[in-house]
Structure formats: C-alpha cells, structure tokens
Amino acid sequence: MLDQVHTGFQNTALHDNGSGVAPHPGLVALVKEAAAIQVQTNTILTIPTQLMSADSDLISEIHEIVTTGRVHATSVNMQLNKGALRKTFSNLDRPGPLQIDFKEQRAEKLWNSVINLGPLKLRAEEAIIDTATRAKLRDDLAKGSDHDSVAITFVPASDKPIEIIYPNWPKSDSN
C-alpha cells in the first residue's frame, strides 16, 4: 500500500494553509482511479504536470478493466483475413453472436508506464458489420489473396453492447 510518493504534483490549496481553491472534482476522481490502477497492477504511475482528455478516457477504461475484468463497447474495429470472410460472406449481412478470443496480450502505455492487461475476449449476443463496412466489403473481397486482411467494424445489432472481457482481471487477493 502506498503511504507517500513524491509525484511533483502541487495542489494550490496547500500553498496558503488550505484556504485556496479546491482541486476540480474531475481531477480528484481521475487521481483516485489512477491510484487504484497503481495498486491493482503493482505499477508506479507518475502523474504528469499537464493532463489531456485522452488521459482521462484511458484511465477510466483501464480502471474499469482492472476492477471489473470487462468493458462495454458500441463498436469494435479489427483486421480479418479475406479468406475467412469470403467463406462466410452470405452470413455477413445478418446479425449473429460474436465470440472471438484473442491470445495476444493487450498493453497500454499510461504516462511513463506500460500496463499489461493480458488477452481479451469479445462477446455479443447479436452483432453485425456496420453499414459503411458492408457497403464496400463486396468490392474489398473481390480483389487480393485470402491472406490479405480487410478492416471490419462490428456494432451491436440489439440494445445490448459488445462486451470485452479480460480474463486476467480483476486479480484475486491471493495473487
């Protein structure tokens, strides 16, 4: 457990015996999530002097992954081999279950550290290739070899989102 770590971060409320302006609640929430990520992943994070909105989005996503083991998505982009898509082309216009397990390890760079999130699994009760991808897919599959890949975007076909599961998270207390 962290007792005290010098981060270089200075809170303006500390310069005048606590009578200054309190930090923005969004910043407080962000730092709390970053601290939880640090504890869960056993990774030291040094908060930079300037935070970007992309930092907030990434921190929220990583926090959700390491505390729940899953996140929801409204779309998923991936590269798939043309050969597999050609074999199943007649089924691509219909919604269906989406179940893909990735063995590759996902890692995210957060400030000065890399956080290994491990493999992931995509799950959706009903997903479909988005309209824009389907519109050009026939032309994309008409050329190139089976080993070439094409960009595909899946979206939910119902009100249930696509779930991305990280089986390595959350860590149990015995790990």
Q: Does 25 map to a domain?
A: yes
Residue 15 pLDDT > 90, yes or no?
A: no
Give the model's pLDDT for residue 174: 45
Question: Phi then psi for 109, rounded to 5 degrees?
Answer: -90, 120
Give the model's pLDDT for residue 47: 86
| Number of compact structural domains in the chain | 1
Q: Does 10 map to a domain?
A: no
Give the model's pLDDT for residue 73: 94
Whether residue 106 contacts residue 123, with contact meaning beta carbons closer than 8 Å, is answered with no
Is the backbone of residue 42 left (phi > 0), alpha (psi -120 to 50) or beta?
left
Per-residue pLDDT tens over the stretch 135-175? 899 899 999 999 999 999 999 999 999 999 999 999 876 44
Q: Does 23 map to a domain?
A: yes
Q: Does 77 map to a domain?
A: yes
Q: Does 7 map to a domain?
A: no
Give the model's pLDDT for residue 21: 78
Give the model's pLDDT for residue 10: 60
Q: Does 117 map to a domain?
A: yes
Q: Does 40 map to a domain?
A: yes
Give the model's pLDDT for residue 83: 93
The pLDDT-based confidence of 18 (bands split at 50, 70, 90) is low
Measured CA to CA, the distance from residue 108 to residue 54 in angstroms comes to 13
- Model's pTM, two decimal places? 0.77
Q: Domain range for residue 117?
A: 17-165
Per-residue pLDDT tens over the stretch 84-116? 899 988 888 899 999 999 999 999 999 989 999
Q: Does 130 map to a domain?
A: yes
The pLDDT-based confidence of 2 (bands split at 50, 70, 90) is very low
